[in-house]
Every structure is written in structure tokens, then in C-alpha cells.
Amino acid sequence: MTKFIVEADGGSRGNPGPAGSGAVVIEASSGEVLVEIARFIGIATNNVAEYTALIAALEACQKLDAEATVSVRMDSKLVIEQMSGRWQIKHADMRDLAAQARALAVGRVKSYQWIPREINNRADALANKAMDERADSIRFIATDSNHGELAATVSTPMAAVAEFNAELPSSVRAPGGVTAQLTTIILVRHGRTALTESKRISGRGGENPPLSPAGRDDAARVAKAVSQIGRTGPWAHIKAPTAIICSPVLRAHETANIIGSSLSVTPTTDEDLSEISFGAWDGLTNDEARSAYPELFEQWRGSWQVSPPGGEALIDFDARVAAARDRIFLAHPGETVVVVSHVMPTRGFIRAAFEAGISSYWRPQISPCSISIVRFWGNETAEVLAINATAHLAD
């Protein structure tokens, strides 16, 4: 039976900070290195990086020979002791990663051995390579009986980080002299409701429906996507979220609670993140509102100051969203914050980022449980990373 040796390591520059993992798979009988793996993780801790390295190596072992046995060697006392079952796993992130590693190790890994860091230099070098290049690479060096190379290096740079600046605006054309701390805002619209599904107007102070069954499914999907930010996937390079602030309107609050469960974070509410008020038009379709108030409806479209009967003018709404935004900057400098709200508050954040005019309140499409990401350096400058991302909602 084939026997493999895995050497794995991970590092984080900041802990948490930009993190990378490295691993090698070695043929035990010959000592030949069969696979070299470097993986850029994004913002994470050393422990997350070390577990990620082990998982990547065990996945490579499975691809090489699903029947092979494996011996694991690492300089991480924590991973070795936890995987051996001698130490408890208290942190939720570690439990999830350990579960992934154990699923790959069952019936395959025969031993876990701690080794000094200086002996683990190959894996350490690959982890540093991943952090230096902010890229993933895997090199299979499996050989046939004539020692001919069967697989070459596969390098997968993350396009999202190729020109990304983790601390300052990424564009070289952006003005310098930025002094405010970066706050990254993950904008999430709530899931669907019965009013959403029937295409009826639903604002602040109206019927206040809960999420529909489809809306709860939306929320579960976006919760999973948000929980991966800062860890894996297309936004692994962004700092992981540490706070959730939401509109107190029921559909947004329910969505925020579902996201909060996935992050182990309790949402707080801000009244100024509520949807704009449509007054007498709430619960109507657009055609019904137009038919009941034909002249006012046309005046309202494209206007800062005209409001529905008993509703809210856009100029007043824009001011309250700005106030909520300023409170977030003040309370969460240097953090990533999930803001769960509605179509119009999301557009308000995007408008501020672009320093755009009134048309920004109807030009961006904002779908239920979509993700938009904006980085703000206070009110000095901003950078838009994504608008209306919905890939996580696809089956």
C-alpha cells in the first residue's frame, strides 16, 4: 500500500492579517516530493492558515491515491494536538476546519507528529510564497517508472487581489493624503417577502411583512456567502466582518439575524437604515399608485423634494442615511461591517461612494439578498468593489 507523508504550515502577517498556507506531499518509501501547494487565504489567523494547509494536503493525497495511508507532520502544536484528540477545540472557526480535516483523514491518516519549525522549512516557504504573491499554486510532480514528469505547475493568481491595496485606495489615480481609517461595508438587501413577490411597494411604516419561505432561503444563502468573506472565495482578501448593523424593519432584521447566526455576531439596529417611506402608496403596485395619483406620481419621479402623500422626500431620506453612515464610520474604524437594509439605503451608500447625483437612486439594480461591497475612508474617499452580486443565490 502506498504511504504518503504530509508536511504543512500556515502563516499570517498580523494575526489576523494577510495569510497563506503551504504543504508538500512526500512519497514515504523514496522521500520524493510529489506535490507542492501554496494557497493565499486572505485575512485570517495563523491557526486558520495551518488548518487550511492540512486540508489542502489531504485533498491532494486523495487525488494521488485514494487508498494511500498518510502521516502528518506539522510545527503547529495546536493542530497536531487537536487532530489527535488530546486538546479541545473551543473556537467555532477551528471546529469547522477541524471537521473538514477529519472527514478527509478518516481511514487514511495513521499518525500526527509535531516537528520543529526548522524541519518544516519546505511548507513554511510555500506559505510565504502564497502571502508574497497573493496567489494560489499547486505543483504535481508525480513520476512514472522512467521518472518522466506527469504534471506541471498550475498557478492561479487571484485576479481580485492583483491590484488590490489592503490599506489605501487601490487606484494610482486616487488622491493621496488619506488620513481616515478604512471601514469596509458589506451591503446586503433583505430577502423576499409576500409584497416583494407580488411586486407591491413596501417601505418604512407600511405593512411590515416578514420574510417569505423563499426569502428565508435567500437569507440562508447570503449568510453562507457573507461568512466566507475574509476566509475563502472571491472576497477572501477582504477583512472578515466583525459587526452587523441593520434596519429595524422586520424583513431586514430577520435577514440580519440569519447572517448573525452564521458569523456568531449579534446584529444591532439603526432606525436611519430603514427603507424610505412611501406613505399612502405603501402596499400598492406601481400601476395602482400611478392610477390613483397620476400628476403627483409623475412629479415624484426623478425629484429630490416631492414625496408621496404622507411619505418621505428623497432629500430627507438621503440625509438620514448619511447620518447612519457617519455613525458606522465613528464606531467601526478599521473594521468590516455588514449593513442589512433595503434597496434605497443600499443605493444611498453607493451614491456616497461615487459622489453621484440623484440618478444613482434608480440606476443600480439591487436584488433581494444581493451583496454590494464599498470601502470607505470616512468621508474622504471610497472604493466600490461590487454592486448587486447574486451568484450565491443561484442553484
Please check whether residue 109 is in contact with residue 103, taking contact to mean a CB–CB distance below 8 angstroms.
Answer: no
Residue 292: count of CB within 10 angstroms of its CB: 13
Question: Can you count the helices (H) and strands (E) in the chain?
Answer: 11, 13
Q: Is residue 81 among the annotated active site residues?
A: no
CA-based nearest residue to 218, from 340, 337, 97: 340
Q: What angle do CA 32, 115, 98 make, to 5 degrees?
A: 90
Q: Is residue 147 among the annotated active site residues?
A: no
C-alpha distances out from residue 114 to 9, 40, 266, Å: 11, 24, 38
Q: Which DSSP string do the residues of 329-373 spell out, in sequence order?
A: HHH-TT-EEEEEE-HHHHHHHHHHHHT--GGGGTSS---TT-EEE
Q: Given this model, what pLDDT does residue 159 score?
A: 62
Provide, for the chain, the percentages of residues in helix, strand and coil under a 3-state DSSP scheme, each rounded to the nearest 5.
40, 25, 35
CA–CA gap between residue 361 and residue 347 (Å, rounded): 6
CA–CA gap between residue 17 and residue 40 (Å, rounded): 11
Catalytic residue among 27, 190, 254, 383: 190
C-alpha distances out from residue 368 to 192, 212, 262, 288, 392, Å: 6, 12, 18, 23, 12
Q: Given this model, what pLDDT does residue 148 score?
A: 37
CA-based nearest residue to 185, from 348, 344, 374, 388: 374
**Alpha-helical runs (H) found in the chain:** 46-64, 77-83, 92-105, 121-133, 194-197, 213-228, 250-263, 286-292, 294-300, 314-331, 343-354
Please check whether residue 247 is in contact with residue 161, taking contact to mean a CB–CB distance below 8 angstroms.
Answer: no
Task: Tell me whether strands 135-140 and 153-157 are parallel, antiparallel or unpaired.
Answer: antiparallel
Question: What single-letter DSSP state applies at residue 391?
Answer: G
SS3 115: coil
pTM > 0.85: yes or no: no
Q: What is the pLDDT along the chain (395 residues), one digit of tens a residue?
A: 899 999 999 999 988 888 999 999 999 998 899 999 999 988 889 999 999 999 999 999 998 999 999 999 999 999 999 999 999 998 877 888 999 999 999 999 999 999 999 899 999 999 999 988 888 888 887 543 333 333 444 445 556 666 788 888 989 888 888 999 999 999 999 999 999 999 999 999 989 999 999 999 999 999 999 998 887 778 877 888 999 999 999 999 999 999 999 999 999 999 999 999 999 999 999 999 999 999 999 999 999 999 999 999 999 999 999 999 999 999 999 999 999 999 999 999 999 999 999 999 999 999 999 999 999 999 999 999 999 999 999 87
Q: How many residues does the chain have?
A: 395
CA–CA gap between residue 53 and residue 8 (Å, rounded): 6
Catalytic residue among 7, 275, 312, 383: 275
Cα 61 to chain centroid distance, Å, stands at 28
CA-based nearest residue to 245, from 334, 345, 375, 366: 345
Q: Which domains does the chain have, with CATH numbers?
A: 3-157 (3.30.420.10), 182-393 (3.40.50.1240)
Residues 304-322, buried b or exposed e (16+ Cβ, 10 A)? eebbbeebbbbeebbebbb
Respond yes or no on whether the N-terminal peptide bond of residue 241 is cis (omega within 30° of 0).
Answer: no
Which grid coordinates are listed for 5?
A: 507523508
Q: Given this model, what pLDDT does residue 160 score?
A: 66
Residues 121, 122, 128, 131, CA torsion sign: negative
